[in-house]
Amino acid sequence: MSKTEYKSSDIKILEGLDAVRLRPGMYIGSTGPKGLHHILWEIVDNAIDEAANGFASWVEVRLYPDGSASVEDNGRGIPIDIHPTAKVSGVEVVFTQLHAGGKFNNDNYSYSGGLHGVGASVTNALSEWLKVEVYNGKTTYGMEFSSYKNKSGKYISGEPKAPLADLGKKTKKRGSFIRFKPDATVFETTDFSSEVILKRLRELAFLNKGIKIDFYDERQTPVLEKHYEFEGGIQDFVTYLNEGKTPLYSEPLYATAEKDGIKIEFAIQHTDGYADNLCSFVNNIPTGEGGMHETGFKSGLTRVLNDYARSHNLLKEKEDNFVGEDFREGITAILSIKMKNVQFEGQTKTKLGNPEARPAVEAVTVEELTKLMGVKKLTKIFDAIIAKAQGAAKVRLAERRAKEIARAKNGADMMRLVGKLASCSSRKAELNELFIVEGDSAGGSAKQGRDRQHQAILPLRGKPLNVEKKRIDEVLGNEEMCSMISALGTGIGSDFDLKGLNYHKVIILSDADQDGAHIRAILLTFFFRYMKELIQEGHVYIGMPPLYKVHKKDIVEYAYSDAELQKKIEKVGRGYSLQRYKGLGEMNPEQLWDTTMNPQTRILLRVTLEDAANADRIITTLMGDALESRKQYIQEYANFNKEDSFKAKIGMD
């Protein structure tokens, strides 16, 4: 049981703040938008940890016109007494010592998401100023910090203006209030995205049943307000993700239990679709690369559903068991666990490595689903799941036969591919690039203008297949899709193997118009559904052809957006000529190389997958059959004149 009394002696100090400002990327990943929001998450996570451990019920995030942000909670409050070894207040320790906090002591926090980060001190170190107020139910304590250059030119980061003091303001409140202003000399932008923040706050409210989270953006007129509170927790999360889909049963199945010190909860609901969407979290942290908890959940789900099918005579004695993917066809599932001493691994530190999580999650999955199977009114739900799996198994067997046929005629397929694919001479996959180009005209220019050693060109004829509405056997029957699969060399779906990848940069190159955007969306949907690891490992890019050519005599400038056009006109000067490119096919090979393919001058956007749950929901909305949902989304979010907004929505760096 966690301690209700929280003192400075509970705070462990691991190291000081040296080098945070010198190398901020080491601590927050980057100084771009992702890093900017990281310093906000450090404060938000601390507030959520208070709530997740039963000490708070409310969190507020607020953005101000001066560029600052604040986070307030009604928890225990940061300790205000004097730390036994640092000889300063707990507040000062938390904001001036890297990796100092109560989360290194399991007596104070049973589970912590904030421990995944580097501490509130980094937020302080990378802010112009930071203000703290602590409420203990009687009075208000306050402290301020600032960053500045001293007389010798050395930058002082997050220095206290004065020790923690009683502000003399009586209050009945409890908790902490932190307001800070990111330092514009550190970050490329200090403009917080309300959309990015709201997405994370909504997710945290889903994952922490009953917690109330309020958001205010005072930069807007009128003030943007959002309030999140989900009594259904992750059940509501599954329902939210399945908007626009057709569920097989009305309410998601839900279970929660604790085993071996690990708190486990999951919610599942099948739809009539084909893609599976399993989203897992550890201590509120998304684990996009999965890990031991996902492995245990999948094993438990497969075992218990096969047992159900056998015991209810839905699988005959001589029939083989279903495989895991049969039961996961069309599933939307949230798996959330909370545990101590979390070990993350993987390239992006979003894969759970704790081996003890696997048997615990598997056991709870089997035990809790077995209990639900014993509830008479739920029998129809499990019968529907088995019926769905039977259909999936038939398709799986048909797919296997299709693949065997495809392998048998692989030589013929490769001969057809040779006619389309202009391969490169290098056999070093890590240096090679595949441009998937819209149309034969643009493909011809790309083939002539490319670097033949490292750049391969695959032209597409017409719009590719929208795989969101198709099963895998239909995908394998589409010539354009098969051409891509053959060129990449990885296989798809359950056969996908990243080791076979022939090109470490897969670049989608389409026109800068609505048709081009549609083709990008179709291809990204294909990669997300059947080659997700290709995106997760950072191999998928979008090429950015220019919209305008501004030239005068020997001076040539290219503008990639309407906002950039005016700057280029001013640079070229009076007497300029302007060309608006309607498509890639209008460029000759030299222009296409200079603007879009030359590694020294081109702009590439890397497609990322930081939020698989949200990506699945957006793809379902934009590429599925729910017309009204798609219309509503476009009306609410589409802003084609703001490039940064577009990048944020589809997950690009």
**What is the Cα–Cα distance from 49 to 207, expressed in whole angstroms?**
12
The CATH number of whichever domain residue 325 belongs to comes to 3.30.230.10
pLDDT in tens, 382-403: 999 999 999 989 888 877 766 6
Among candidate residues 440, 515, 562, 590, the one labeled active-site is 515
Extract long-range pairs of 377-383: CB within 8 Å, 24+ residues apart. 378/253, 380/249, 381/248, 381/249, 381/253, 382/305, 382/308, 383/312, 383/314
Confidence of residue 577 (pLDDT cuts 50, 70, 90): very high
Decide: helix, strand or coil at residue 296.
Answer: helix
Strands of the sheet with 262-270, listed across from one edge: 253-259, 262-270, 331-338, 277-282, 285-286
pLDDT in tens, 184-224: 999 999 999 999 999 999 999 999 999 999 999 999 999 99
Which residues 6+ apart lie within 8 Å of 344 measured at CB? 116, 282, 285, 287, 350, 351, 352, 353
Does 419 score more than 60 pLDDT? no
Does any domain span residue 420? no
pLDDT value of residue 112: 60
Q: Which of 228, 258, 278 is the last residue of a domain?
A: 228
pLDDT in tens, 214-272: 999 999 999 999 999 999 999 999 999 998 889 999 999 999 999 999 999 999 999 99
Greater pLDDT, 31 or 463: 31
Which residues 6+ apart lie within 8 Å of 182 measured at CB? 36, 39, 67, 68, 69, 126, 127, 128, 190
pLDDT value of residue 194: 94
Interval 25-54 mean pLDDT: 89
Cα torsion through 32, 36, 41, 44, rounded to 10: -160
Q: Which domain holds residue 628?
A: 426-545+590-650
pLDDT value of residue 634: 57
**What is the Cα–Cα distance from 333 to 285, expressed in whole angstroms?**
16
Instruction: Output the pTM of the full model.
Output: 0.75
Q: Range with the lowest mean pLDDT among 98-102, 165-169, 397-401, 513-517?
A: 98-102
Greater pLDDT, 265 or 584: 265
What average pLDDT is seen over the chain? Answer: 85
* Judgement on whether residues 538 and 562 belong to the same structural domain of the protein: no
Helix (H) or strand (E) holding 259: strand 253-259
Degrees to nearest 5, angle at CA 95 with 89 and 96: 85
Pairing of strands 212-217, 58-63: parallel
Does any domain span residue 1? no
Does 15 score more than 90 pLDDT? no
Confidence of residue 28 (pLDDT cuts 50, 70, 90): confident
* Judgement on whether residues 465 and 604 belong to the same structural domain of the protein: yes
Greater pLDDT, 558 or 300: 300
Does 316 score more than 70 pLDDT? yes
Decide: helix, strand or coil at residue 629.
Answer: helix
Q: Which of 228, 259, 285 is the last residue of a domain?
A: 228
- How long, in residues, is the chain? 653
Does 612 score more than 70 pLDDT? no
Does 116 score more than 50 pLDDT? no
Residues 480, 421 contacting (CB under 8 angstroms) = no
pLDDT value of residue 402: 63
For residue 37, give the amino acid letter: H
Number of domains in the chain: 4
**What is the Cα–Cα distance from 603 to 534, expressed in whole angstroms?**
20
* Judgement on whether residues 541 and 553 belong to the same structural domain of the protein: no
* Judgement on whether residues 47 and 168 belong to the same structural domain of the protein: yes
**What is the Cα–Cα distance from 182 to 572, expressed in whole angstroms?**
36
**What is the Cα–Cα distance from 524 to 464, expressed in whole angstroms?**
11
pLDDT value of residue 424: 93
pLDDT value of residue 651: 42
* Judgement on whether residues 299 and 447 belong to the same structural domain of the protein: no
Confidence of residue 469 (pLDDT cuts 50, 70, 90): confident
pLDDT in tens, 483-512: 888 899 988 877 889 999 999 999 999 887
Does 561 score more than 60 pLDDT? yes
Does any domain span residue 407? no
Interval 273-283 mean pLDDT: 91
- Measured N-to-C along each axis, helices 379-408 and 292-311 cross at an angle, to the nearest 10 degrees, of 110
Active site residue 73: no
**What is the Cα–Cα distance from 629 to 332, expressed in whole angstroms?**
18
Q: Which of 228, 249, 265 is the last residue of a domain?
A: 228
Confidence of residue 650 (pLDDT cuts 50, 70, 90): very low
Does any domain span residue 413? no
Interval 133-159 mean pLDDT: 89
Interval 338-358 mean pLDDT: 85
* Judgement on whether residues 100 and 242 belong to the same structural domain of the protein: no
**What is the Cα–Cα distance from 239 to 613, expressed in whole angstroms?**
12
Q: Range with the lowest mean pLDDT among 357-371, 495-509, 601-615?
A: 601-615
pLDDT value of residue 649: 40
Does any domain span residue 421? no
Decide: helix, strand or coil at residue 247.
Answer: strand
Give strand ranges (E) for 23-126.
Answer: 58-63, 69-73
DSSP 95-121: HHSTT-BGGGSTTT-SS-SGGGS--HH
Number of H helices, E strands in the chain: 21, 24
Q: How far is CA 551 from CA 555, 572, 578, 586, in A?
A: 5, 7, 7, 16
* Judgement on whether residues 340 and 390 belong to the same structural domain of the protein: yes
* Judgement on whether residues 284 and 363 belong to the same structural domain of the protein: yes
pLDDT value of residue 98: 77
* Judgement on whether residues 224 and 238 belong to the same structural domain of the protein: no
Does any domain span residue 171? yes
Tokens standing for 559? Answer: 């503008």
Among candidate residues 49, 511, 557, 616, the one labeled active-site is 511
Residues 56, 47 contacting (CB under 8 angstroms) = yes
pLDDT value of residue 482: 84
pLDDT in tens, 318-330: 889 999 999 999 9
Specify whether the backbone of 168 is left (phi greater than 0), alpha (psi in -120 to 50) or beta.
left
Does 374 score more than 90 pLDDT? yes
Residues 178, 132 contacting (CB under 8 angstroms) = yes
pLDDT value of residue 433: 96
* Judgement on whether residues 187 and 135 belong to the same structural domain of the protein: yes
Among candidate residues 513, 570, 590, 625, the one labeled active-site is 513
Confidence of residue 643 (pLDDT cuts 50, 70, 90): very low
**What is the Cα–Cα distance from 183 to 615, expressed in whole angstroms?**
31
* Judgement on whether residues 615 and 475 belong to the same structural domain of the protein: yes
Interval 349-374 mean pLDDT: 94
What's the start-to-end Cα distance of the chain, in Å?
42
pLDDT value of residue 644: 41
Extract long-range pairs of 447-453: CB within 8 Å, 24+ residues apart. 447/422, 448/589, 449/588, 449/589, 449/590, 449/591, 449/592, 449/593, 449/597, 450/422, 450/424, 450/593, 450/597, 451/424, 451/597, 452/424, 452/425, 453/424, 453/425, 453/426
The CATH number of whichever domain residue 493 belongs to comes to 3.40.50.670
Does any domain span residue 43? yes
Active site residue 438: yes
Active site residue 644: no
Secondary structure, 3-state, 412-433: HHHHHHHHHCECCCCCCHHHCE
**What is the Cα–Cα distance from 164 to 143, expressed in whole angstroms?**
5
Does any domain span residue 628? yes
**What is the Cα–Cα distance from 400 to 432, expressed in whole angstroms?**
31
Interval 85-105 mean pLDDT: 76
Which residues 6+ apart lie within 8 Å of 320 measured at CB? none
Degrees to nearest 5, angle at CA 95 with 89 and 97: 90
pLDDT value of residue 201: 96
Does 14 score more than 50 pLDDT? no
Confidence of residue 646 (pLDDT cuts 50, 70, 90): very low
Give the position of tokens 């990015």: 196
Among candidate residues 133, 217, 236, 438, the one labeled active-site is 438
Tokens standing for 186? Answer: 């550190």
Greater pLDDT, 62 or 517: 62
Decide: helix, strand or coil at residue 91.
Answer: helix
Neighbour count for residue 636 (Cβ, 10 Å) = 8
Does 6 score more than 80 pLDDT? no
Does 132 score more than 90 pLDDT? yes
Nearest to 85 by CA among 14, 140, 152, 33: 14
Does 289 score more than 90 pLDDT? no
Does 639 score more than 70 pLDDT? no
Q: Range with the lowest mean pLDDT among 126-140, 404-418, 441-455, 458-472?
A: 404-418
The CATH number of whichever domain residue 121 belongs to comes to 3.30.565.10
* Judgement on whether residues 247 and 220 belong to the same structural domain of the protein: no
- Measured N-to-C along each axis, helices 410-420 and 379-408 cross at an angle, to the nearest 10 degrees, of 80
Does 411 score more than 50 pLDDT? no
Strand partners, 449: none
Residues 548, 559 contacting (CB under 8 angstroms) = yes
Greater pLDDT, 79 or 438: 79
